[in-house]
């Protein structure tokens, strides 16, 4: 089934956070984002303070409520800080909304047009898993910095980009037994296809296990792995997420870099906490993935993981959760041909995650 509109990429991720002003400092100083726009009391917006951060094609929007009666507080109470909207850039937002709602997506916002001196944005939104939504953004007739109503902003903080350039994929965790249903939803409603799957046999450490299906649009610009817990001896890391996020939600955002060694080096200098990789991982590395361009000692020093598939190889690393609840984290990924998601690393990675889970008393 061919959708009558094109996905152009991830337009932005919108977060609801407890203190957007401070979160904006975090993404600037630690992840090298630039503050590009904001909205709030000073711009005439009375309900929500909002900060837009950018790095190459990656755009994060951080929202926080001004008042106790704001509906955003429901999200904060249930989920803590997290991603509320995975917004897609499309060539025709009205067609996207019509196509998806006709196929069973629940509408959040009908197509609407907003205009300022920089042009017009057409947008609409539909629900997906948990409380998460997808906004369709059509910005071909807009040249402003983000959205009508936002003003350009400049930060007093001087930050250096770390080299991430585009969102590679965004992963959604589901409660037990929901993964197939959500993967089917993306097939039936968005016209996505299954790109890749992981089942219990692929990933089982002594304790936790997961299942994963990656769905993608025709051109594989939007890639979204959908996870669910699988039974193991102890609690799955996916179940831990679902318990702390109070349901389905975004587990990690993978940001693509052209030079993972440089990016991870900068992030480590900025104080990012990555999941530790056991040294034994590197002893077996060349036997498993063959010859690679990078110096294995450098990768070991930075804790970067490597995996190979039929098309090439990839390098990746995962941060620890970036808020107190063990929910959202980030992946930094460099692809050298590989189109998959690092199945060969899951075991090493999960053992690392489980050690962290054990420290939290949640294993
Ligand atoms: Fe990932």
For the chain, 363 residues long, give each residue's pLDDT as a single digit of tens.
678 999 999 999 999 999 999 999 999 999 999 999 999 999 999 999 999 999 999 999 999 999 999 999 999 999 999 999 999 999 999 999 999 999 999 999 999 999 999 999 999 999 999 999 999 999 999 999 999 999 999 999 988 999 999 999 999 999 999 999 999 999 999 999 998 777 666 656 666 678 899 999 999 999 999 999 987 777 888 999 999 999 999 999 999 999 999 999 999 999 999 998 888 888 888 888 999 999 999 999 999 999 999 999 999 999 999 999 999 999 999 999 999 888 888 777 777 777 888 889 988
Residues 132 and 276 in one domain: no
- Clarify whether residues 215 and 313 are in a common domain: yes
- Same domain assignment for residues 147 and 180: no
182-188 contacts at long range (C-beta below 8 A, 24 or more positions apart): 182/128, 182/129, 182/226, 182/248, 183/213, 183/215, 183/226, 185/104, 185/128, 185/129, 186/215, 186/224, 186/226, 187/215, 188/103, 188/104
344 located within any domain: yes
Report CA(66)–ligand 1 centroid distance (Å). 34
Tell me the C-alpha to C-alpha distance, in Å, between residue 286 and each of 259, 295, 312.
20, 11, 14
Q: How many Å lie between the centroid of ligand 1 and the Cα of residue 227?
A: 11
Distance CA 101, CA 103 (A): 5
Please check whether residue 227 is in contact with residue 200, taking contact to mean a CB–CB distance below 8 angstroms.
Answer: no
Residue 349: its pLDDT value, please? 74
Domains in the chain, number: 2
- Identify whether residues 329 and 185 lie together within a single domain: yes
| Residue 358 C-alpha from the chain's centroid | 25
Instruction: Locate 4 and state its tokens.
Output: 């009558």
Q: Within the chain, where are the H helices?
A: 20-29, 72-79, 93-102, 179-190, 237-245, 260-269, 280-283, 285-289, 296-302, 346-359
**88 in a structural domain:** yes
Collapse the DSSP code of 272 into the 3-class scheme (helix H, G, I; strand E, B; otherwise coil) and give the result: coil
Exposed/middle/buried for residue 234 (C-beta within 10 Å: 0-12, 13-18, 19+): middle
> Could you tell me the CATH number of the domain that includes residue 273?
3.10.180.10
Signed CA dihedral, 230, 235, 241, 244: sign only:
positive
**What pTM was computed for the model?**
0.95
* Same domain membership, residue 290 and residue 179: yes
Looking at the structure, tell me whether residues 107 and 184 fall in a common domain: no
- For ligand 1, the distance from its centroid to the CA atom of residue 123, given in whole angstroms, is 28
Distance 287 CA to ligand 1 centre (A): 23
Q: How far, in Å, is the centroid of ligand 1 from the Cα of 65?
A: 30
The CA 283 to ligand 1 mean position distance, Å, reads: 24
Contacts of 31 (CB under 8 A, 6+ apart): 55, 162, 164, 267, 270, 272, 330
How many Å apart are CA 305 and CA 344, to the nearest integer?
A: 9
Distance between Cα 223 and ligand 1 center (Å):
10
Do 219 and 135 reside in the same domain of the chain? no
Residue 159 lies in a domain: no
Q: Which domain holds residue 40?
A: 7-152
Give distance in angstroms: CA of 295 to centre of ligand 1: 23
Q: 34 in a domain, yes or no?
A: yes
Whether residues 198 and 135 fall in one domain? no
Distance 352 CA to ligand 1 centre (A): 15
Residue 158 lies in a domain: no
Protein residues within 5 Å, CB atom, of ion ligand 1: 254, 331
Expressed in angstroms and rounded, the spacing between residue 119 Cα and the centre of ligand 1 is 35
Contact 86, 128 (CB under 8 A): yes
Residues 329 and 303 in one domain: yes
């Amino acid at each position: 089934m061919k959708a009558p509109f094109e996905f152009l990429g991830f337009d932005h991720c919108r977060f609801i956070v407890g203190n957007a002003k401070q979160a904006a400092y975090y993404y600037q100083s630690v992840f090298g984002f630039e503050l590009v726009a904001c909205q709030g009391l000073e711009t005439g917006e009375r309900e929500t303070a909002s900060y837009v951060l950018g790095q190459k094609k990656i755009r994060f929007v951080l929202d926080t409520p001004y008042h106790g009666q704001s509906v955003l507080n429901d999200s904060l109470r249930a989920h803590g800080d997290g991603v509320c909207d995975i917004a897609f850039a499309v060539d025709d937002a009205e067609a996207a909304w019509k196509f998806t709602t006709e196929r069973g997506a629940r509408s959040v916002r009908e197509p609407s047009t907003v205009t300022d001196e920089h042009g017009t944005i057409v947008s609409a939104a539909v629900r997906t898993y948990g409380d998460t939504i997808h906004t369709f953004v059509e910005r071909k007739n807009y040249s402003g910095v983000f959205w009508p109503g936002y003003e350009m902003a400049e930060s007093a903080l001087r930050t250096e980009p770390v080299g991430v350039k585009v969102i590679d994929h965004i992963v959604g965790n589901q409660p037990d037994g929901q993964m197939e249903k959500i993967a089917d939803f993306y097939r039936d409603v968005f016209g996505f296809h299954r790109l890749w799957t992981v089942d219990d046999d692929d990933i089982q450490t002594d304790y936790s296990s997961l299942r994963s299906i990656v769905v993608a649009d025709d051109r594989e610009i939007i890639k979204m792995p959908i996870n669910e817990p699988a039974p193991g001896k102890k609690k799955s890391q996916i179940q831990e997420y679902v318990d702390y996020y109070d349901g389905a939600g975004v587990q990690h955002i993978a940001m693509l870099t052209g030079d993972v060694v440089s990016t991870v080096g900068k992030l480590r200098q900025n104080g990012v906490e990555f999941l530790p990789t056991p040294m034994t991982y590197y002893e077996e590395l060349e036997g498993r993935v063959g010859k690679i361009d990078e110096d294995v000692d450098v990768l070991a020093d930075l804790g970067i993981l490597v995996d190979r598939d039929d098309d090439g190889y990839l390098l990746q690393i995962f941060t620890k959760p970036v808020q107190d609840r063990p929910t959202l984290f980030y992946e930094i990924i460099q692809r050298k041909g590989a189109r998959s998601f690092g199945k060969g690393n899951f075991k090493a990675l999960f053992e690392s995650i489980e050690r962290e889970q054990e420290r939290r008393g949640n294993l």
